[in-house]
Amino acid sequence: MGEKEKILARFNIKDYREDLEYVLENKKFDEEAKSLLLNIYYKLDNFYKDYLSVKIECEDKNKYLEDYIKIIKAKCNKITMIQPKEITEGDKFAIDIKKGEIKSFPNELVLLQAIYKIIERDVSTDRLLLEDFTKICLNNVMYKAKTINSVEPLRDFTGWSWQISLTDNDTIVNNLIYQNLILLLGYRFVNDNIYKTNIITLLNNELNKQEYSEVGYNFLMDLLELCIIVFNNISKENHEKCLKYKNSLISKRKMLNTRREYVEDKTKSSSTISKQIKKIDDMLENIVLIREQYEKEIKKDKNQYLGISDFIDKKEVEKKKLLNQIKENNKVLNQKQYLFNHDDYENTLKLYDQITEEKEKVNIQNNLTKLQKDFLECMKIKIEKANTKKDLCDIVVELRYYSNLLIKKDKTVIDQNKISEDFENITKQLIYKMVENKFFDIGFVDKEFNYSILKYVFNTKIIELNGIIIKLCYLPDNKVNVEYYDGKMLEYKQTFDIPKDEVVTNKKDKKIKLFKIGG
């Protein structure tokens, strides 16, 4: 959400409870379902403030509540509460998208998941199987992850605590990929473009616009490769589809490697298309031929045309498409386009290196770790570009949120040894920059010592970081005890050895409000 929208949202406070109650009055839902839907609303209304504090890149509260009510109104025709034994083992809800029906275990989080699942886009592979298959793999992750992200305010916030509580490995992976994107490009950009047909191009352009340069390109390529593996691992059928697409790329690359065969194929294609165009032209110039062809096609399917006029219009459209195909053939026959296509197939094939006949499923962890290292390299650039206190404080919030994301059921991203060192390096970079610019000032000069004390902000689960207060108590033997408070409540304390070369002119005990987010 942009800064302007955030400011306006503060003055656009609306109680949507009446809107929801009105919608529910006109719905044939179980009474228990209606009660749960209202309870969900109350919790979202109360918890969302904490959600906005912990996670900067998210939907505006008013928009979120509006969407919640709109989905119930427009997409949910029937909601029934049932017992777990009535649903397939392992599932807690069942949905029928066409009928707009939900059967759910009587649990608020389960019901909210079902509500967002009912609007989740289907990933169709038939139409684009041999044209834009990589986009299908990206869509598979993005659509599911959008649903996972949508239930986060209720799932992870209780009104007094924040805990990321995902338990399924596939869900964890999808969520991590999605959060990587919105932390780098912003929630609004990702949300506005998620369903666009040229999403991959848009992501690449935005990474360039944000000046992530080559690092951003590596991030995108590794993200796409990971999405391909995720799609591949879902089922044997998906694996076969991945192989089919990979083999089609190999065939196209082989054809491109033989320039003569490539030219002959495109020339032959244009010749065939030209004959089809001539056939349409000859028919359209002769009313007798038009009627004969119309009657011939209408016998096969009497509903395909509204009449002769409609038949003629559709033949004109068909001719236009054929002419465009010839134009495309002519484009790729020139040397520059030929080389572009060759390189494009080569680059795309690299994304499918791990998809092989011999192994149906691919271990995902190495790719997931690699993507996180790319992500942190991009965040390093983001820190370098940030100069205001607000921008740097926002990055503190974002990295604190990121550090709590799961990479496995029992591990956060920074629990991984290969990632933790990179994370520490960029948090040092961030703290050093804030200390140098006096955005943090706790009375010490040594950068490393400042970092030792201030790095706790990335560990704490305090909701409001701008509420953190630290108390410095100087001890004998050149030591200092640091207490970290959430307002008036002590959360953590630690004793540090003050570096020998650190000159402390005032050893009076003191309390410091660490920083104010956005201040």
pTM for this structure? 0.81
Q: Are 511 and 442 a contacting pair, CB within 8 Å?
A: no
Q: Vertex 472, ends 467 and 477: CA angle to 5°? A: 160
Q: Is residue 165 a part of any domain in this protein?
A: no
276 located within any domain: no
Instruction: Specify the pLDDT at position 325.
Output: 82
Give the end of a domain, one of 94, 119, 144: 119
∠ CA 67-9-465, nearest 5°, is 105
C-alpha count within 13 angstroms, C-beta hemisphere, residue 315: 23
Strand order in the sheet with 101-104: 78-81, 101-104, 93-96
Q: Residue 496 phi/psi, 5° resolution?
A: -120, 150
Query: For residues 64 and 67, what is the distance between their CA atoms, to the nearest angstrom?
Result: 5
Is the Cα dihedral 294, 300, 302, 303 positive or negative? Answer: negative
Which token pair is 293? 């062809």
User: What is the reported pLDDT for 7?
Assistant: 47
Alpha-carbon gap, residue 375 to 371, rounded angstroms: 6
In a domain, residue 261? The reply is: no
**Amino acid letter at 388?**
T
Q: Is residue 147 part of a domain?
A: no
Among 102, 119, 136, residue at a domain's last position? 119
Beta bridge partners of 510: 472
Number of other residues whose CB lies within 10 A of the CB of residue 436: 11
CA 28 from chain center: how many Å? 34
Instruction: Return phi, psi of residue 164, to 5°.
Output: -70, 120
Number of domains in the chain: 2
d(CA 438, CA 23): 52
pLDDT at 153: 95
Give the position of tokens 């919640």.
Answer: 68
Establish if 25 belongs to a structural domain. Answer: yes
320 inside domain: no
Q: How far is CA 400 from CA 51, 83, 395, in A?
A: 13, 39, 8
Q: What's the confidence (pLDDT) of residue 479?
A: 94
Residue 95: inside a domain: yes
**Calpha distance 251→470 (Å, rounded):** 64
Alpha helix positions (H), 352-446: 365-385, 389-403, 417-436
* Of 123, 134, 117, the residue nearest 79 (C-alpha): 117
* Contact indicator for 135, 202 with CB cutoff of 8 Å: no
- 208: phi > 0 → left, psi -120 to 50 → alpha, else beta; which? alpha
The residues near 389 (Cβ < 8 Å, ≥ 6 apart) are 434, 437, 439, 515, 519
Which is nearest to 27 in space by CA: 82, 73, 80? Answer: 73
- pLDDT value, residue 136: 93
Residue 332 lies in a domain: no
Q: Which domain holds residue 446?
A: 386-513
Domain end position, chosen among 119, 145, 165 = 119
| Cβ pair 50, 159 in contact under 8 A | yes
Return the bridge partners of 479, or none: 475, 497
pLDDT (tens place) for every residue of the chain, 519 residues total:
555 555 445 445 467 899 999 999 999 898 999 999 999 999 999 999 999 999 999 999 999 999 999 999 999 999 999 876 666 645 789 999 999 999 999 999 999 999 999 999 888 765 655 568 999 999 999 999 999 999 999 999 987 788 888 989 999 999 999 999 999 999 999 999 999 989 999 999 999 999 998 999 999 999 999 999 999 999 999 999 999 999 988 988 887 676 666 666 777 787 888 888 888 888 888 888 888 888 888 877 777 777 788 888 888 888 888 888 888 777 666 654 555 555 677 888 999 999 999 999 999 999 999 999 999 999 999 999 998 999 999 999 999 999 999 999 989 999 999 999 999 999 999 999 999 988 888 889 899 999 999 999 998 988 888 889 999 999 999 999 999 999 889 999 999 999 988 888 788 899 998 875 543
How far apart (Å, rounded) are the C-alpha atoms in residues 269 and 390? Answer: 58
Identity of residue 106: P
Q: Are strands 489-497 and 510-513 parallel, antiparallel or unpaired?
A: unpaired
Spatial contact of 407 and 416, defined as CB atoms under 8 Å apart? yes
Cα separation of 59 and 67, whole Å?
10
Assess contact for 493 and 500: CB atoms under 8 A: no
* C-alpha closest to that of 347 among 259, 224, 215: 224
Helices (H) and strands (E) in the chain, counts: 20, 9
Spatial contact of 412 and 405, defined as CB atoms under 8 Å apart? yes
